[in-house]
Amino acid sequence: MGKRDELIERYADDLKNKCGMTPDMDLLTKVTIGCGPAIYNADASTVSGSDKEELETVKNNFLIKKLGLSDGPQLMEAINSVIETYGKSERNKYRAVVYYMLTKHFGKESAYA
């Protein structure tokens, strides 16, 4: 099993056990691949739920650029909702898991088709 496959398993485990979701493995794999080399970097592979700049980056680079959503308060509300679901006290909020939940939240699976 390759490093990426191990990470995808870890992300699926987080979705099941920390977020109470049954992951769509095909979509999770595509989201993980979409994160590129960031998944292998300890700092870049996680999202800091308390860092406003980090959350703005998720909003601008992922929700607006990747998913093609229009800017508005609903974007930050969705990000905060995902962080809440993942658990504010959870130290490692994996970027791929956060992106996966945001993709599901907005029904934008087609961005990965």
Class of domain 3-112: mainly alpha
Domain boundaries of the chain, sorted by first residue? 3-112
pTM for this model (two decimals): 0.96
DSSP the chain: --HHHHHHHHHHHHHHHTT-----HHHHHHHHHHTGGGGGSTTTTB--TT-HHHHHHIIIIIIIIIS-PPPSHHHHHHHHHHHHHH-TT-S--BHHHHHHHHHHHTT-GGGG-
Residue 26's pLDDT is 98
CB atoms < 10 A from the CB of 14, how many?
A: 22
Q: What is the mean pLDDT of each run of 10 residues along the chain (113 residues)?
A: 95 98 98 97 94 96 98 98 94 96 98 94
